[in-house]
Amino acid sequence: MGKTTRGMPEATGGAAAPLTAFSGVGPKKAEQLAALGITSVETLLRHYPRRYEDRRQVRRVGDVLAGGLGEGEAVVLRVRVLSVSAPPFSRGGRSRIPLRVRAEDDTGALTLLFFGATWLRNAFSEGADYWVYGPVRRDLSGPVMVHPEFERAEEGKDYGGIVPVYGLTAGVTQKFLRGLVRQALDGGIGRLAEEFLPPEIVTRHRLAPPDFALGNIHFPENDGALRSAQYRLVFEELFLLQTGLLWVRRRERGEGGIAFGRAPSVSEFEDLLPFAMTGAQRRATEEVYADMERPAAMHRLLQGDVGSGKTAVAMAGCCKAARGGHQSVVMAPTEILAAQHFAEFSKTLGEGAGLRTGFLASGLAAKEKADVKERLAAGEIDVLVGTHSVLEPDVVFARLGFVVTDEQHRFGVAQRLRLRDKGSGAVPDVLVMSATPIPRTLALILYGDLDVSVIDEMPPGRKPVETRFVDGTKRGAVYDFVEKQLRKGRQAYVVAPMIADADAEEDMPDSRDAPENDNPCGGEHRSLPSAEGLFAELSERFRGFRVGLLHGGMKQREKEAAMLAFVSGETDLLCATVVIEVGVNVPNATVMVVEGAERFGLAQLHQLRGRVGRGAERSYCVLISDSRAELARRRGETLAETNDGFKIAEIDLELRGPGDLFGVRQHGIPELKIADLAKHLKVVQAVSEEAKALFAADPELTAREHAPLRKKLSQLEAIG
């Protein structure tokens, strides 16, 4: 691995070396790689394989003929080409007639088939030996391999080993990506991986050196080397996540906060509300008030299921801040949700407590924006509610003391810090609200920089959403039921797993390159419903009603208009993808239909279900799935049995892993590229203990042996 050959970047280029320094990478290929997040040597080597193929054992064609292999089993064969039968070139260079390569070894013959690949006619030479790898099937002519990987056999050169399989994108093949990684490793780049883990932790956990781990995660020497590399990189990734969050927390807690007075008390604030708080709401408010009364800056996460009453707790904090002479800001992810918050805050705090509220969003006229900013800077607004617009540099507060970010997973740590930094002098208290239930066992590692309050009790009188899980044969009856609800004047959502029918097709070189979770339930591949397809069908089916469409491919203004039409009652039925707004309140919506339900995680389905059941009428959620997989059935049964989001999150973690719970888009944490928070729980616990002990012994990481970690964390903080 140590030599540098022509066409490879010198190791001195380091991890930041551009990909265009590699042989075979021009501007177009670099653009294709960027779609995978690969923009440098560092990101190339951190694009870990998602699985491996064991090509160490060479089989014989005779094994296939004798029935010694399972149908569809992928194998390595060394064969000699007997003949190449190529169809004539057709218009466009493609033909429905496959390229047929007849090959044999000493024990028998088979056929290699390549569809739509006339250009491969010159890739094979009659009489030459080739390594081929792929699943073996049988047709009328005998054993065949369809679109196998192949390589000309050279004397003295081995084939196979444990071969990495990567996630791909259009224009990037497995062969190309493997070659690119091999160039980086052969160029000595892997040896430039710096050791930043403290030596005592490396020794205690018997962690492999970083260059060994990077080399063997891509091209393992053997099974043991692969396990060692995986353990090292999983530990490293989780350790960096946990120490990074503790590093931010240490810095923030070292800064001076605001010690608010004891007024109002929780009971005094509750008198402003038109309802009685639940015990969980009262407990969370007491925790927030206790933090606000301390001189240290508050950094608290408020978790609660949809409809549990998190907004009231946020209002309580704004009320205390105003009584202490400070302003508050509430940031929501969309203009519609921000407008709903503004109306609620204005009624409860404006009319009830005499506080001055303001609203700021991109949709306002320039004069309105200027007026709000002027009043804010002059201290004439007590509570500002808005969208990302509140982050703009010219938004200046007179005395900011309390910050609320709603649906934290739509923002991230960096944006939260930008908002917090708008405080003048003392650091404002920060409350982060999330309606995404997190399993209690994992909340600590995900929110290591925040204290956590949980509202695990629903307001009295709130009716649970009646949930049904049905197969596609009941689809007609489901939409008959939807029509009955619409005729009663109600509204309904229909959610699809994709935008358009074309989205169902993966743009991959062959089926083996498709994502492993392409059908996470393991059901058969089939045509899946799309939002656009359903919109066309349901517009025809519900001719007497107003049907709307909402998906992520629409422009922001179009999305907001579609959602606003539904909120205002102008639309009766909304066909959408998962972009339907979290937190948006449409009390008249009583039915949620989820098509292709097996494509969603439990937690995501629970979030979708939370869009209904917000009014006085009984509400329903119907999950439609054509999958016969056991996992799909268990999900449906779980949702039908419970409305407890935290319980659902625990079960989802057990069934599916943390994919839909803990992605970077949902929580603003660094993306986990190799660690699995469900599978690696023991490592999570070990890392958490090590990180706490490290900061307890050396809070500023000033010890010489901790200098590399301090440098790494400072770099990540600068990026964030």
Cα(638)–Cα(261) distance, integer angstroms: 46
The domain boundary residue, chosen from 427, 455, 483: 455
Is 719 a residue whose pLDDT tops 80?
A: no
The verdict on residue 484 lying in a domain is: yes
Q: Which amino acid does the sequence have at 252?
A: E
Tokens of 583: 């937190």
Looking at the fold, whether 404 and 475 belong to one and the same domain comes out as no
In this predicted model, which residue has the larger pLDDT, 627 or 490?
Answer: 490
Looking at the fold, whether 276 and 423 belong to one and the same domain comes out as yes
Looking at the fold, whether 479 and 611 belong to one and the same domain comes out as yes
Tokens of 519: 């059908």
The maximal CA–CA distance of the chain, rounded, in angstroms, is 92
* 335-345 and 556-567 helices, crossing angle to 10°: 40
Q: Are strands 129-139 and 142-146 parallel, antiparallel or unpaired?
A: antiparallel
Strand segments (E) across 460-502: 466-470, 491-495
The verdict on residue 138 lying in a domain is: yes
Cα(467)–Cα(471) distance, integer angstroms: 14
Looking at the fold, whether 114 and 184 belong to one and the same domain comes out as no
pLDDT at 662: 35
Q: Which amino acid does the sequence have at 379?
A: G
In this predicted model, which residue has the larger pLDDT, 438 or 477?
Answer: 477
Instruction: Convert 265-294 to b/e letters by CB count within 10 Å (16 or more is b).
Output: ebeebbebeeeebbebbbbbbebbbebbee
pLDDT at 82: 93
Cα(537)–Cα(625) distance, integer angstroms: 18
| pLDDT tens-place string over residues 436-460 | 777 665 666 666 556 788 888 877 7
Share of the chain above pLDDT 70, in %: 81
Tokens of 147: 């679109």
Looking at the fold, whether 592 and 478 belong to one and the same domain comes out as yes
The domain boundary residue, chosen from 192, 211, 239: 192
Q: Are strands 451-455 and 466-470 parallel, antiparallel or unpaired?
A: unpaired
The verdict on residue 662 lying in a domain is: no
What letter does residue 5 receive in the DSSP assignment? -
In this predicted model, which residue has the larger pLDDT, 268 or 660?
Answer: 268
Cα(611)–Cα(336) distance, integer angstroms: 14
The verdict on residue 559 lying in a domain is: yes
Q: Are strands 383-386 and 357-360 parallel, antiparallel or unpaired?
A: parallel
Looking at the fold, whether 117 and 177 belong to one and the same domain comes out as no
Which CATH number belongs to the domain containing residue 132 in this structure?
A: 2.40.50.140
Tokens of 420: 């917090």
Strand segments (E) across 601-706: 620-624
The domain boundary residue, chosen from 612, 642, 672: 642
Looking at the fold, whether 284 and 371 belong to one and the same domain comes out as yes
CB 655 within 8 A of CB 631: yes
pLDDT at 15: 60
**Residue 444: CB atoms within 10 Å:** 17
Cα(433)–Cα(315) distance, integer angstroms: 12
Looking at the fold, whether 19 and 93 belong to one and the same domain comes out as no
Looking at the fold, whether 276 and 334 belong to one and the same domain comes out as yes
Q: Which residue's structure tokens are 């202490």?
A: 324
The verdict on residue 411 lying in a domain is: yes
Cα(358)–Cα(346) distance, integer angstroms: 8
In this predicted model, which residue has the larger pLDDT, 253 or 115?
Answer: 115
Which residues on adjacent β-strands are paired with residue 52?
164
Q: Which amino acid does the sequence have at 560?
A: E
Q: How many helices (H) and strands (E) does the chain have?
A: 24, 22
119: enclosing H helix or E strand: none
Q: Whole-structure pTM over 0.85, yes or no?
A: no
Q: Which residue's structure tokens are 């049907």?
A: 547
Is 665 a residue whose pLDDT tops 90?
A: no
The number of folded domains in the chain is 4
**Mean pLDDT of the region 698-719:** 83
Looking at the fold, whether 484 and 520 belong to one and the same domain comes out as yes
CB 549 within 8 A of CB 532: yes
pLDDT at 583: 61
Confidence at 517, pLDDT banded by 50, 70, 90: very low
Looking at the fold, whether 117 and 3 belong to one and the same domain comes out as no
The verdict on residue 177 lying in a domain is: yes
**Mean pLDDT of the region 552-567:** 86
Domain interval for residue 426: 266-455
Which CATH number belongs to the domain containing residue 497 in this structure?
A: 3.40.50.300
Looking at the fold, whether 625 and 501 belong to one and the same domain comes out as yes
Which residues on adjacent β-strands are paired with residue 300?
431, 451
**Mean pLDDT of the region 83-96:** 68
pLDDT at 441: 57
* Mean pLDDT taken over the chain: 81
The verdict on residue 532 lying in a domain is: yes
pLDDT at 638: 85
Cα(514)–Cα(170) distance, integer angstroms: 11
pLDDT at 252: 58
Chain CA centroid to CA 189, Å = 29
**Mean pLDDT of the region 243-250:** 75
The verdict on residue 147 lying in a domain is: yes
Please spell the DSSP secondary structure of 53-69, one letter per residue: EE--SEE-HHHHHTT-S
In this predicted model, which residue has the larger pLDDT, 594 or 388?
Answer: 594
